[in-house]
């Protein structure tokens, strides 16, 4: 383990989720590029995004939707982890919660791009939100007290 990661262990989950986001972007293109020609989707500027998306099957769209999800709530995660790192937080519980958030987001992605079953996907999302809430509450507590 690098000296920086030993001193700032919350940077591990931060970078880990970023790497996962790039993996989902790769999957997005892996599914989408072949589907564009297969389903005769053109790049006519007069065609709106929704019309192009309607030509593609849901299975092709799921990685794009998940990639967009990974650019929404996780931005709070990145900010909170940077704040906690700045506050020099490095206890095992906090690092564990941060890695739990990353693992839950990865599981959420896998569900999203494979079955996209909301009855399975939502509880995983909710659990990740609780982990993020805990991290945020810890940062707020440290700033107040």
Please report the pLDDT score of residue 137 as a whole number. Answer: 98
In which domain, by residue range, is 105 found?
Answer: 9-29+61-144
Domain contains 37: no
The DSSP string of 78-114 is: HHHHHHHHHTT---HHHHHHHHHHHHHHHHHHHHHHH
Whether 91 is covered by a domain: the verdict is yes
Residue 4 domain flag: no
Q: Give the Cα separation of 65 and 56 in Å (integer).
A: 13
Q: Mean pLDDT across the stretch 132-139?
A: 98
- pTM equals 0.92
Phi, psi for 72 (deg, rounded to 5): -100, -100
| Cβ-contact 134, 79 below 8 angstroms | no
Q: Does some domain include residue 124?
A: yes
Per residue in 67-125, pLDDT tens? 999 999 999 999 999 999 999 999 999 999 999 999 999 999 999 999 999 999 999 99
Count other C-beta atoms under 10 Å from residue 78's C-beta: 14
Two tokens at 3? 């000296």
Please report whether residue 134 resides in a domain. yes
Q: How many independent structural domains does the chain possess?
A: 1
The one-character DSSP state at 47 is: S
End-to-end distance of the chain based on CA atoms, in angstroms? 32
Look at residue 42 and tell me if it is in a domain. Answer: no
Give all strands (DSSP E) within the chain, no chain letters.
none
Note the pLDDT tens digit of each residue in 48-78: 777 777 889 999 999 999 999 999 999 999 9
Of 79, 77, 70, 81, nearest in space to 108 by CA:
70
Mean pLDDT of 133-143: 97
**pLDDT reported for residue 1:** 67
- Give a yes or no: residue 43 inside a domain: no
pLDDT of 130 reads 98
Q: Is residue 55 in a domain?
A: no
pLDDT digits (tens, 9 = 90+) for 1-32: 688 788 999 999 999 999 999 999 999 999 99
């Amino acid at each position: 383990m690098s000296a920086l990661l030993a001193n700032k262990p919350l940077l591990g989950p931060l970078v880990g989720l970023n790497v996962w986001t790039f993996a989902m972007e790769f999957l997005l293109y892996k599914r989408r590029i072949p589907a564009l020609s297969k389903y005769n989707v053109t790049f006519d500027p007069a065609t709106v995004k929704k019309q192009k998306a309607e030509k593609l099957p849901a299975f092709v769209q799921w990685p794009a939707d998940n990639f967009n999800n990974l650019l929404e709530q996780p931005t709070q995660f990145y900010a909170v982890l940077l704040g906690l790192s700045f506050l020099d937080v490095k206890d095992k519980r906090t690092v564990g919660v941060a890695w739990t958030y990353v693992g839950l987001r990865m599981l959420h992605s896998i569900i999203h791009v494979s079955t996209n079953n909301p009855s399975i996907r939502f509880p995983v999302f909710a659990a990740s939100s609780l982990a993020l809430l805990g991290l945020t509450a810890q940062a707020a507590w440290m700033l107040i007290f």
